[in-house]
Structure 1
Amino acid sequence: MEYEYKNQTCCFSGYRPEKFSFSLVVDNPQYQQLKSDIHKAIACAILDGFQFFLCGMARGFDILCGETILEMREERKEWRDLQLIAVIPFPEHSENCSEEWRLRHVALEVRSDELIYTGEDYHSNCYFERNRYMMGL
């Protein structure tokens, strides 16, 4: 898959909550620092010309980044054209998540500019296929 705007596209995929050395809860200073660092990195990407953001939609880092894009679109008028594209490995992807992460996943889906499903159901390579899609391979 080759994107029309590949040189303006950034992809998010990363750690799940259990892989972090700290808890991803709002009152945790390390979590707040992570959110700030994500915001700064995305702002730098925007200043470098990135406008399309593909989110792998997994619990943890992916969803944090997607939520940050939505927050940033509200912050500044010139960022309202940023495009959030949810790249989901299969339709039932969020069904086995905790209620919190499932609700966050659904909220991102609803507010994304586009939903792309890279598969029809779970299989051993579905996340690999999602990542390859996001990289345009």
Structure 2
Amino acid sequence: MRENFFENIGTETVTEISNGLFGDVSVCRYRFMVGCIVYETEAASLEECRKHCAEWLRKRSVAFSGHRKLQGNPNRVLPCLLSEIRACYASGYRLFYTGGAVGFDTLAAEAVLSEKRNCPDMVLVVAVPFNGQDALFSQSAKLRYKWILEEADAAVILSESYSPECYLKRNDFMLLHSSVLIAYWDGFSCGGTAYTVRKALNGKRVVVRNLF
């Protein structure tokens, strides 16, 4: 994965311009675009521009985390999920992160893509924990995963190969860049979703909305 977060999910345009009475002051003019989201600013350095952009995006970003097995009828989860996505959109959220796993991650990605038909300025980013995470998916799950990657605005591959901690690193990445977490957690099971919800609650930078 490229180390620069911005290059991974979108396109940066950076121009250095001269300012000041004698043109002796250098200013960085910055533009970032992912999907229909555009952020522009000017600052003394590229690092400062990226810092402002990252915080601006975080305040408009939502992450998903949930169990791979949905209890009961998954169709009962979908209306609640769509309601939360629409509420976030109405509040100004535009960028949505999903981890691409089977179960809730897949349902969330498909829900965002469905809403994009009426809200084209929504952006879906798939945070892939490692290259080839679908190797053990069923054939139908592989097809859904492939379609999601094709339709998403961006996919970030966080590691080229599997490691025991890659899923938690994926969840950390999504929490770092979001201010809302839409979760599907039963409240007692251990695992990645429990880790993500608890970390979000402890960090107090991310609002948690649990649909379970």
TM-score, normalisation: structure 1: 0.86
CA RMSD of aligned residues (A): 1.4
Of structures 1 and 2, the larger Rg is shown by 2
5+ residue gaps in structure 2?
Answer: 6-50, 178-212
Structure 1 distance, partners of 2:71, 2:150, is: 30
- Hey, what does 1:115 align to over in structure 2? 155
Amino acid of the structure 1 residue aligned with 2:71: S
CA distance in 1, matches of 2:176, 2:157: 14
User: How far off its partner does 1:31 sit?
Assistant: 2.1
SS of the residue corresponding to residue 34 of structure 1 reads: helix
Equivalent in 105, 115, 133 of residue 62 of structure 1:
105
Aligned residue number for residue 104 of structure 1: 144
Q: Distance in 1 between matches of 2:92 and 2:71?
A: 32
Give the strand-richer structure, 1 or 2.
Answer: 2
* Equivalences, count: 125
Which position in structure 1 is the counterpart of 2:121?
81
SS state at 2:156 partner: strand
Aligned equivalents of 2:75, 2:169: Cα separation in 1? 31
Match of 1:25 in 2: none
Whichever residue aligns with residue 15 of structure 1, its letter is H
Structure with higher helix content = 1
Gaps of 5+ in 1: 23-29
Q: Which has the higher contact order (CA 8 A, sep 6+)?
A: 1
Residue-by-residue CA offset, 1:93-117 (whole Å, 9 max, x unaligned): 0111111111111100000100101
The one-letter amino acid of 1:73's match is K
5 Å-filtered alignment, 1:25-64, equals 30-64=73-107
Q: Which amino acid aligns with 1:92?
A: G
Which residue identity does 2:154 align to in structure 1?
Answer: E
Q: Cα deviations across residues 21-57 of structure 1 (Å, max 9, x unaligned)?
A: 22xxxxxxx3222111110010011111110001111
Q: Percent identity?
A: 24
- Give the secondary structure class of the aligned counterpart of 1:81: coil
